[in-house]
Amino acid sequence: MQTGKVYLIGAGPGDPELMTLKAVRALGEADIVLVDDLVNRAVLAHVRPGARIIEVGKRGGCQSTPQAFIHLQMIQAAHAGHCVARLKGGDPFMFGRGGEEIEALRAAGIAVEVVSGVTAGIAAPATLGIPVTHRDWAPGVTFVTGHTRDGNSVNWAALAAARTTLVIYMGVKNLPEIVAQLLAAGMPATTPAAAVQSGTLGMQREVKATLTTLQAAMHAADIGSPAILVIGAVASLAAIDTFTEAAVKAA
């Protein structure tokens, strides 16, 4: 039997209308769909009748499907001649382990096509009117994880010196350390900051604060994971009220 194919598909940040037309087409071709936990299940309406859907959940702080098992599922299905859709939230190459998966598939001789998706690091701030770059305030943007695989800290001092907008994925748990290191590197305490939980979805929560009030503001607004954190001057453009120190204490 001829070896099948795998699509690594980005489902977008949550709102099913933000998934691309190419992703819709690829889903409609798939015999087997391996879907991550953070994917909005509404997008599965584009899966063809009779296709098999396999849950391979991955969510921070929860028990997750081993990555090796996901690789094996894709490889076995493709070798059996199936068209496989690996469906991920956001973009498969933006903190989605798409790089690991494409390496495993290529090593197994499997044809792979990447279908890019809208990443939450752009879409979630955009719901508040935050542009991650701005000609006057932010000459660039740095997308960074707040939780590394090996536990080693990101070089926050270097990022602070770069003066770009910081968009932090998976940073809620380590926010106190991140803030402390940015302050130690000379970033002003009054630097605008924002957090968006479940961005683009109906249950979205958001808050605008400063670098030093962000954690307390998030706690007061009951914001946890999954959330995107934005630190930099552009966060001041968020179309919501700023959480002041007084408001934090009152909450």
Of 5, 58, 88, 208, which residue is the catalytic one? 58
Residues 32 and 76 in one domain: yes
Judged on CB neighbours under 10 Å (0-12, 13-18, 19+), 176 is exposed
Residues 169 and 60 in one domain: no
Residues 91 and 143 in one domain: no
What pLDDT is attached to residue 59?
58
Beta bridge partners of 83: 5
Of 15, 31, 36, 91, which residue is the catalytic one? 36
Residue 249, pLDDT > 60, answer no
What pLDDT is attached to residue 137?
94
CATH number at residue 225: 3.30.950.10
CB 143 within 8 A of CB 96: no
**Using 50, 70 and 90 to split pLDDT, how confident is the model at 62?**
low
Report percent pLDDT > 90 for the chain: 85
Residue 61, pLDDT > 80, answer no
pLDDT tens across 9-34, in order?
999 999 999 999 999 999 999 999 99
What is the pTM for the complete model shown?
Answer: 0.91
What pLDDT is attached to residue 242?
79
Is 88 in the active site? no
CB 119 within 8 A of CB 13: yes
Residues 19 and 110 in one domain: yes
Residue 140, pLDDT > 90, answer yes
Please report which helix (H) or strand (E) contains residue 182, including its range.
helix 175-184
Residues 73 and 184 in one domain: no
Cis (ω within 30 of 0) for the bond into 16?
A: no
Instruction: Calculate the average pLDDT of the chain.
Output: 92
CB 97 within 8 A of CB 149: no
216: containing domain: 120-250
Closest CA to 123 of 22, 44, 3, 19: 19
Alpha carbons 251 and 246: distance in angstroms, whole number: 9
Is 58 in the active site? yes
CATH number at residue 42: 3.40.1010.10
Residues 10 and 65 in one domain: yes
Of 19, 74, 94, 170, which residue is the catalytic one? 170
